[in-house]
Structure 1
Amino acid sequence: MSSVITLDQLKPGEEAILTGISDTVSTARRLKELGFLPGTPLTCVLIKKRGETSAFDLRGTMIALRREDSSRLFARRNERRS
């Protein structure tokens, strides 16, 4: 079983399943409204500006987050089996 990480630790091409959000109520609400809900699969698509911004494919929609926000979202990496 893989350990829990934050989304800012994902590299482009890595897939994960969102497990939770750790933040204030208002920020957590905003992230949930964007679709970052526990159990949601996502893929890291792009990292820009020395890691300060990351883009994630979330149910067919690309959403960019600042590192400040992606570090508040917890996930488990999807382990690909050969």
Structure 2
Amino acid sequence: MEAGRFGRVASLYNLLSDCGAFGLSTQEAQALIDSMLGVVKGWREFFVSHNVEIRSIDMLEQAILLDCFYRTEPVEAL
């Protein structure tokens, strides 16, 4: 799903790059993202507490909140 000027890139800079299309200021968009991150950051502990198998959690970890998500600027083209 495209959510910014950089297509489907899963990063803060992309989410904030075109937040006006959703009727949000940068500050409003950042507040929403921060709120969602507050929920998602505890995903691993939540899954463990609900007896999800560790191997399943390890597989999901490869897709949830990768370090690249926190980038605030695009990586320069090679």
In our comparison, the structure showing a higher alpha carbon Rg is 2
Determine which structure has the larger strand proportion and give its number. Answer: 1
Higher relative contact order (CA 8 A, sep 6+): 1
Same fold (TM over 0.5): no
* Shorter-chain TM band: under 0.3
Point out the structure with the larger helix share: 2
* TM-score, normalisation: structure 2: 0.24
Q: TM-score, normalised by structure 1?
A: 0.24
